[in-house]
Amino acid sequence: MSQSSEMPPVLWLSSTRYHAPLPENLARKWQALAVGLQRPIHVIGFATAWRPGHFHEYVDFYLMPQPAQAILRYGVIFIWGTVLALWLAWRHNCRLIVAQSPFEGAIGAFVKQIFGLFGQQMALIVESHNDFEGALFMQRQIGARGIYQRLMRAVAGYALSHADALRPVSSSAAEQLRQYAPHTPQCNFMAWVDVASFTQAQRTVPVNASQELVYAGVLIPRKGIHHLLAAFAQLAHPHATLTLAGPPDNPAYAADLHEQAQQLGIADRVTFAGGLSQVALAAVFARSRALVLPSLSEGLPRVIVEAMYAGLPIVATNVSGIPDIITDGEQGYLVEPEDVPALTNALDHILRDDVTQMGAAAATKARAFFSTETFVQGYRDLLTLALTSAEQHHGN
């Protein structure tokens, strides 16, 4: 029997925003999964506006309307998303559910239980891409935090108690999942990285000749960008520049960063580039000296692997999954979060020392750590693990 006939269609639950046509990086991801997994894939996600939609590009996308307010988005995904998941699972005979976080996993657990009432077996995979307990509270102010945290933990606990397999993207995420589901099997591999854009970009400046540092990511407090500006202002490198590439997902915080740069007297050397396409970001990497990521919490940031593929050394905080890929002093430098003097010292070394070998070591490590082939094989192994685990649970 062929793999495609042995393995059922997959229902993918996510809160990612999609539109047709897909951006090149996402198109390559779903093409790789559609070809590599050789089975129908049905993806639930958000549209980019209020209007729901459906389109096919390598896989089928079913898009929920996206309200502007976060509280309404939660309502949409837990009500609309649940109804849609039940219908798709029944309509397409999906017997595998992949949920991109424990919160979408609660929908998968409910669908699994409903089908179980009718004697239909399902296998549920729950992924974890970051610290699902604390990351949100580092991102923005949340009212009634204690109640919110208890609710989040209850929802995550419900999802994880019904999961047949787990997929953390880092060692720290794996440990967090074990606290909820110590006996559920795990398959650990990182999130999708569109390596094509970052290997095709040609360097315009040798890495050791550049004086440009770059941060890439959304502008939110959890990313610690205010600490980066404070450290950058203390550097005795008057020709060094800093590019902040990322959308202002927290407008108030982004405005504070602009004001901070003015007050520190570095506004003329700091560029707020906004959100960039993968190709545009690759072009920035191709002229930069190092990527700086001063986050307070992460999963395993794909932007680090992207920058390493482009041959950049990394200066990052020693949090979450970052130490899984960066060894201090080899592919870059690790500092403790919120430690501005240590970050200043690391940036000084990056700008003062010869970083040619460090950049080469980063590129070598990235190629060994991630590839399209290992990503697809990771999902093959994960789906097999979930089906085997579900069969064992069903037999017991």
**Dist CA 343 CA 190 (whole Å):** 26
| The predicted structure's pLDDT at residue 4 | 39
Rounded average pLDDT over 264-281: 96
What average pLDDT does the structure give for the chain? 92
pLDDT band at 196 (very low <50, low <70, confident <90, very high): confident
pLDDT band at 145 (very low <50, low <70, confident <90, very high): low
Whether the pLDDT of residue 137 is over 60: the answer is no
> Which of 319, 350, 339 minimizes the C-alpha distance to 230?
339
Check residues 80 and 72 and name the one with the higher pLDDT. Answer: 80
Peptide bond into 301 cis (omega under 30): no
| The predicted structure's pLDDT at residue 134 | 64
Give the tens place of pLDDT for each residue, 283-292: 999 999 999 9
pLDDT band at 261 (very low <50, low <70, confident <90, very high): very high
Rounded average pLDDT over 210-219: 97
| The predicted structure's pLDDT at residue 231 | 98
Neighbours of 364 (CB within 10 A): 13
Residue with tokens 């500006």: 229
12-26, 36-50, 136-150: the lowest-pLDDT one: 136-150
Q: What is the pTM of this model?
A: 0.88
Whether the pLDDT of residue 131 is over 70: the answer is yes
| The predicted structure's pLDDT at residue 3 | 39
Residue with tokens 């002229």: 287
**Dist CA 295 CA 273 (whole Å):** 19
**Dist CA 366 CA 388 (whole Å):** 31
Strands, E assignment, the chain: 10-17, 41-46, 53-57, 59-64, 96-99, 123-128, 165-168, 212-216, 241-245, 270-274, 290-293, 314-317, 332-335
Q: Which two tokens stand for residue 376?
A: 């697809």
378 CB-side CA count, 13 A: 21
pLDDT band at 139 (very low <50, low <70, confident <90, very high): low
Give the tens place of pLDDT for each residue, 315-350: 999 998 899 999 999 999 999 999 999 999 999 999
pLDDT band at 143 (very low <50, low <70, confident <90, very high): low
> Which of 242, 241, 240, 245 minimizes the C-alpha distance to 281?
245
Q: Which two tokens stand for residue 204?
A: 């315009």
Domains of the chain with CATH codes: 3-193+371-395 (3.40.50.2000), 195-369 (3.40.50.2000)
DSSP secondary structure, 98-166, as one string: EESSHHHHHHHHHHHHHHHHTT---EEEEEE-S-TTTHHHHHS--SSHHHHHHHHHHHHHHHHHT-SEE
pLDDT band at 142 (very low <50, low <70, confident <90, very high): low
Rounded average pLDDT over 180-209: 91
Give the tens place of pLDDT for each residue, 339-378: 999 999 999 999 999 999 999 999 999 999 999 999 999 9
Rounded average pLDDT over 29-50: 95
| The predicted structure's pLDDT at residue 98 | 98
Separation in Å, CA 16 to CA 91, 369, 379: 23, 25, 19
Which amino acid is residue 315, in one-letter code? V
Residue with tokens 């020392």: 353
Q: Are strands 41-46 and 59-64 parallel, antiparallel or unpaired?
A: parallel
**Dist CA 333 CA 331 (whole Å):** 7
Check residues 143 and 108 and name the one with the higher pLDDT. Answer: 108
| The predicted structure's pLDDT at residue 5 | 42
Rounded average pLDDT over 282-301: 94
| The predicted structure's pLDDT at residue 152 | 81
Whether the pLDDT of residue 229 is over 70: the answer is yes
Give, in degrees to the nearest 5, the angle at Cα 58 between 53 and 59. 50
Terminus-to-terminus CA distance in the chain, angstroms? 26
